[in-house]
Amino acid sequence: MSTPNASGWKPGTPVEGHNAMSGPDTATGNRALMLEEPLLFEIGHVETTGVDLPDPGSGANRLGGFERSEAIGLPGLSEPETVRHYTRLSRQNYAIDLGLFPLGSCTMKHNPRLNEKIARMPGFADVHPLQPVDTVRGALEVINELAHWLIDLTGMHAVAMSPKAGAHGELCGILCIRAALEARGDAREVILVPESAHGTNPATAAFAGYKVEDIPATAEGRVDLEALKARLGPDVAGVMITNPNTCGLFERDMKAISDAVHAAGGFVYCDGANFNAIVGKVRPGDLGVDAMHINLHKTFSTPHGGGGPGSGPVVLSEALAPFGPLPYTARTEDGVVHLIEEEDAEEFAKEHFGGALQHFGRMTAFHGQMGMFTRALAYILSHGADGLKQVAEDAVLNANYILRSLDDVLDAPFGPSGPCMHEALFSDKGFAVGLSTLDLAKAMIDEGYHPMTMYFPLVVHGAMLVEPTETESKAALDQFIMALRSVAERAKEGDESLKTAPHYAPRRRLDETQAARKPVLAWNDPDMA
Partner 1 sequence: MARYFTDEHEWIDVEGETATVGITDYAQGQLGDIVFVELPDVGTVIDKGKDAAVVESVKAASDVYAPISGEVMETNAALEDDPALVNTSPEEDGWFFKMTIGDKSQFDGLMDEAAYKSFCDGL
Partner 2 sequence: MRYLPLTDTDRSAMLDVIGAPDIDALFADVPEEARLSGPIEGLPMHASEMAVEKHMRRLSKKNLAASDAAFFLGAGAYKHHIPASVDHIIQRGEFLTAYTPYQPEIAQGTLQMLFEFQSQVARLYGCAVANASMYDGSTACWEAVAMAGRVARGKKRKVVLSGALHPHYAEVVRTMAKFTDDEIAGAPPSLTAKPDDDGLIARIDADTSCVVVQYPDILGRLPDLAKIAAAAHDKGALLIAVNTEPVALGAIKSPGELGADIVVGEGQAIGVGLQFGGPYLGLFAVRDEKHVRMMPGRLCGETVDAEGKRGFVLTLSTREQHIRREKATSNICTNSGLCALAFNVHMTLLGEKGLRRLAMENHRLACLAADRLAKVPGVTVLNDTFFNEFTVLLGTDARTVVRQLADDGVLAGVSLGRLFPGSGNLANGLLVAVTETTTEEDIETLASALEEVLA
Residue 290 or 439 having the CB closest to partner 1: 439
Q: In this structure, how many other beta carbons lie within 10 angstroms of the beta carbon of residue 10?
A: 7
The mark string for 325-344 relative to partner 1 (x by CB under 8 A, - otherwise) is --------------------
195-214: burial string, b at 16+ Cβ within 10 Å, e else = ebbbebbbebbeebebebbe
Residue 6 or 516 having the CB closest to partner 1: 516
Q: How far apart are CA 526 and CA 529, in angstroms?
A: 5
Identify the sign of the CA torsion 58, 64, 70, 74. Answer: negative
The mark string for 218-257 relative to partner 2 (x by CB under 8 A, - otherwise) is -------------------------------xx-x-xx--
Contact residue for partner 2 among 104, 238, 280, 457 (CB under 8 A): 280
Are residues 77 and 40 in contact, defined by beta-carbon separation less than 8 angstroms?
yes
What minimum distance in Å lies between the beta carbon of 519 and partner 1?
A: 9
What minimum distance in Å lies between the beta carbon of 112 and partner 2?
A: 6
Q: In this structure, how many other beta carbons lie within 10 angstroms of the beta carbon of residue 384?
A: 11
List the interface residues with partner 2, window 473-512 (CB under 8 A): 473-474, 476, 500, 502, 505-512
Residue 266 or 453 having the CB closest to partner 2: 453
| HEC string for 295-328 | CCCCCCCCCCCCCCCCCCCEEECCCCHHHCCECE
Element (H, E) at 124: helix 122-125
Closest CA to 169 of 212, 207, 204, 210: 204
Contact residue for partner 2 among 30, 34, 73, 351 (CB under 8 A): 73
End-to-end CA distance of the chain: 69
Contact residue for partner 1 among 5, 19, 28, 513 (CB under 8 A): 513
Contact residue for partner 2 among 31, 35, 95, 331 (CB under 8 A): 95
Any contact of residue 67 with partner 1 (CB under 8 A)?
no
Selection from partner 2, partner 1, none that 311 binds (CB < 5 to 8 A by kind) is partner 2
Any contact of residue 516 with partner 2 (CB under 8 A)?
yes
Selection from partner 2, partner 1, none that 192 binds (CB < 5 to 8 A by kind) is none
What minimum distance in Å lies between the beta carbon of 38 and partner 1?
A: 27
Are residues 467 and 107 in contact, defined by beta-carbon separation less than 8 angstroms?
yes
Q: Which residues contact 326 (CB under 8 A, 6 or more apart)?
A: 340, 341, 342, 345, 359, 361, 362
17-26, long-range: CB < 8 A, 24+ apart: 20/504, 21/503, 21/504
Are residues 130 and 278 in contact, defined by beta-carbon separation less than 8 angstroms?
no
What minimum distance in Å lies between the beta carbon of 443 and partner 2?
A: 11
Contact residue for partner 2 among 367, 376, 435, 463 (CB under 8 A): 367
What minimum distance in Å lies between the beta carbon of 516 and partner 1?
A: 4
List the interface residues with partner 1, window 483-512 (CB under 8 A): 512
List the interface residues with partner 2, window 119-178 (CB under 8 A): 119-132, 134-139, 141-142, 145, 149, 152-153, 164-168, 170-171, 175, 178
List the interface residues with partner 1, window 438-477 (CB under 8 A): none
Residue 199 or 494 having the CB closest to partner 1: 199
Residue 9 or 350 having the CB closest to partner 2: 350
Q: Are strands 291-293 and 314-316 parallel, antiparallel or unpaired?
A: antiparallel
Are residues 261 and 376 in contact, defined by beta-carbon separation less than 8 angstroms?
no
Any contact of residue 291 with partner 2 (CB under 8 A)?
no
Residues in contact with partner 1, counted by CB under 8 A, come to a total of: 4
Coil, strand, or helix at residue 409? coil
Identify the sign of the CA torsion 447, 449, 450, 453. Answer: negative
Any contact of residue 517 with partner 1 (CB under 8 A)?
yes
Output the CA–CA distances (angstroms, integers) from residue 471 to 124, 158, 343, 477, in the order listed: 27, 30, 44, 10
Residue 9 or 525 having the CB closest to partner 2: 525
List the interface residues with partner 1, window 79-138 (CB under 8 A): none
Selection from partner 2, partner 1, none that 152 binds (CB < 5 to 8 A by kind) is partner 2
For residue 45, give the DSSP letter.
B
Any contact of residue 516 with partner 1 (CB under 8 A)?
yes
Stretch of 94-102, 231-239, 328-336, 424-432 contacting partner 2, by CB under 8 A: 94-102
Q: How far apart are CA 160 and CA 171, in angstroms?
A: 12
Selection from partner 2, partner 1, none that 461 binds (CB < 5 to 8 A by kind) is none
What minimum distance in Å lies between the beta carbon of 212 and partner 2?
A: 4
Are residues 276 and 299 in contact, defined by beta-carbon separation less than 8 angstroms?
yes
Q: Which residues contact 163 (CB under 8 A, 6 or more apart)?
A: 169, 171, 172, 293, 311, 312, 313, 314, 363, 364, 368
The mark string for 174-193 relative to partner 2 (x by CB under 8 A, - otherwise) is -x--x---------------
What minimum distance in Å lies between the beta carbon of 105 and partner 1?
A: 17
Closest CA to 215 of 194, 242, 235, 198: 194
Residue 199 or 384 having the CB closest to partner 1: 199
Any contact of residue 208 with partner 2 (CB under 8 A)?
yes
**Longest Cα separation, the chain:** 84
What minimum distance in Å lies between the beta carbon of 514 and partner 1?
A: 9
Residues that bind partner 1 (CB under 8 A): 512-513, 516-517
